[in-house]
Amino acid sequence: MNRWRDWWKQALADMRHAELSLREGHYEWACFASQQAAEKALKALLERIGARPFGHVLTRLLKAVEDSGIEVPPDLYDLTKTLDKLYITPRYPNGLVEGAPVEFFTREEAERALSFAREILRFCESHLG
C-alpha cells in the first residue's frame, strides 16, 4: 500500500503546527515542527515515486529523491542541511552544553526554519501531481 497521501497530509499538519508555535512564541517547537514537515513531505514524494523512505536525515532523503531521477535544485541541499540540525536540539536539553532548548531558540531562527520548510514542501508538491 502506497501511503504518500498520508505522509503529505501530515506534512501539511506539521507546517500548521510550526506556524502556530511561532505565533505563540514556542520557537524551539516551531523549528522542530518545520524539520518534521520537511521530512514528511520528502517521504511523501519518495513514497509517491515508489521509493522506500528511511531515516530522519533530510539531506539523505533529498539525495534519494535526486537518485530517483528528479532534478533537485542545489540550493535545496543547503535548506535541508540547516533543518537537519533542528531534529534533536530543539527537543532535548542534552543537545546543548547546558540549559533548556526553550532558552536558546529565537523568533528569527523559527521564521527561517519555517521558510526553509515551505520551500521544501513547494518542491515536493510540484512533483506529487
CATH code of the domain in which 120 resides: 1.20.120.330
Its pTM stands at 0.97
Separation between Cα atoms, residue 41 and residue 62, nearest integer Å: 10
Residue-number span of the structural domain to which 9 is assigned: 4-128
For the chain, how many structural domains are there in total? 1
Share of the chain above pLDDT 90, in %: 96
Q: Which amino acid is at 62?
A: L
Measure CA 120 to chain center: 8
3-state helix, strand, coil in the chain (%, to 5): 70, 0, 30
pLDDT in tens, 20-78: 999 999 999 999 999 999 999 999 999 999 998 899 999 999 999 999 999 999 999 99
